Amino acid sequence: MAKLKFYYLHCYTSEESAAQPFQPGDELELKIVIDGNAKTYKRNKMWDGRRWDLSHIEADYKNNIEVILTDLDNPRLGDQHDLLGKMTIGTNQVNGAFVFNGHGASYELRWGPA
């Protein structure tokens, strides 16, 4: 077993421009899959310089944690969600960071020992 806690997700560059009227920044879906069990967290209005505090999320895991970050859009209007990236944390990586940079975005996730 390994144990970690997430610290934050920091936005360096959002996928959608904060300057776009009616669409300020990203609508994020953060999916955390702990040994195959998925939990989903959402946060609207993330843009350059904003930080999402994740310090309430701890994980005990046996094999791995998969993290999938998506900017939600509007598929019903033909605007598909944008996958910003996915990554896997193994049991030997209880301290680390990862940058999601799909679709020109840049978000850094940090985590450490719980």
Q: Of the candidates 6, 25, 27, 100, which one interacts with Ca ion according to CB under 5 A? A: 27
Token pair of 113, please? 């020992």
Cα Rg, the chain, nearest whole Å: 14
Kindly state whether residue 29 participates in binding Ca ion, applying the rule CB under 5 A: no
- The interface with Ca ion within residues 52-71 (CB under 5 A) comprises 71
CB of 14 to Ca ion, least distance (A): 9
Q: Decide whether 15 or 33 has the Cβ nearer to Ca ion.
A: 15
Residue 99 CB: number of other CB atoms within 10 A? Answer: 14
CB of 45 to Ca ion, least distance (A): 10
Token pair of 93, please? 């990586």
Q: Decide whether 13 or 64 has the Cβ nearer to Ca ion.
A: 13
Give SS3 for 36. coil
User: Do 33 and 93 form a contact (C-beta atoms < 8 A)?
Assistant: no
Binding site for Ca ion (CB under 5 A): 15-16, 27, 71, 73, 82
